[in-house]
Structure 1
Amino acid sequence: MSSTTIYHNPNCETSRNTLALIRNAGIEPEVIEYLKTPPDRHTLVALIQRAGLTVREALRENGTPYHELGLGNEALTDDMLLDAMLAHPILINRPFVVTSNGVCLSRPSERVLDILPTAQRGAFTKEDGQPVIDALGKRIG
């Protein structure tokens, strides 16, 4: 089976929903709790690039020291933003998911469905009660 990795924060509902969708496809991913084991610079840059994002798009504002560090300043370079993300991993938006089909920042959680190598195996409802997958394993909406 293909290798799947999730850069996960168990305290984040979106991250938990993404992990549950991966498992609903019959995949047991490598789970990297990135706050405990942050990616190195090379890995972080590769995740961002492969997901088709800019460094700024991969930066998390809510619940982070984003404002205190002045990271909204448009004059800051990608290298400066990366330095901040590496010094404060909570600034890395989540969850990044890596599969044989690509990399995505799975926000909202159902974005992961676009890169999973296997289909969903049954119904799935997000923690907030929103149905995402029907009983036949098909995406709703």
Structure 2
Amino acid sequence: MTLYNTFVISILLYGRKTWTTYARQEKKLNTFHLKSIHRFLGITWQDKVSKSEDLSRAGLPNMRTLLRQRRLHWLGHVHRMEDGHIPKDILYGELTSGGRTNGRPQLWFKNVCKRDMRALCIDVKSWKDLAADCTI
């Protein structure tokens, strides 16, 4: 599984820590993840192995957990940056002018990170203290 982690996961999730992913995208990534684990472990559909058993055999978390870990790690890294760096300016910046398009608003990185923090029972208001201590 070290090869799978090193090559497949790193290529699949390259740059993904900065993207806002929708549930549909995460589901597609998780499907690929589970199918790849099946191939690496030599499991066929006739073996009737559950998804959670696949992941426990491989010793890997599901794709949603991997995405959350990477996003929150990046969020902590950006928070610890010095002022004036472009990623930090974009994260904490506000639009002064411009309009929004019609339709459903797109997800923002901040909103996805807040959703991840709530899912992991991290207080949304005190995440900056955890990030300063390199906890997230």
The structure with the largest helix share of the pair is 2
Same-fold call, TM cutoff 0.5: no
Q: TM-score, normalised by structure 1?
A: 0.27
**Bigger radius of gyration:** 2
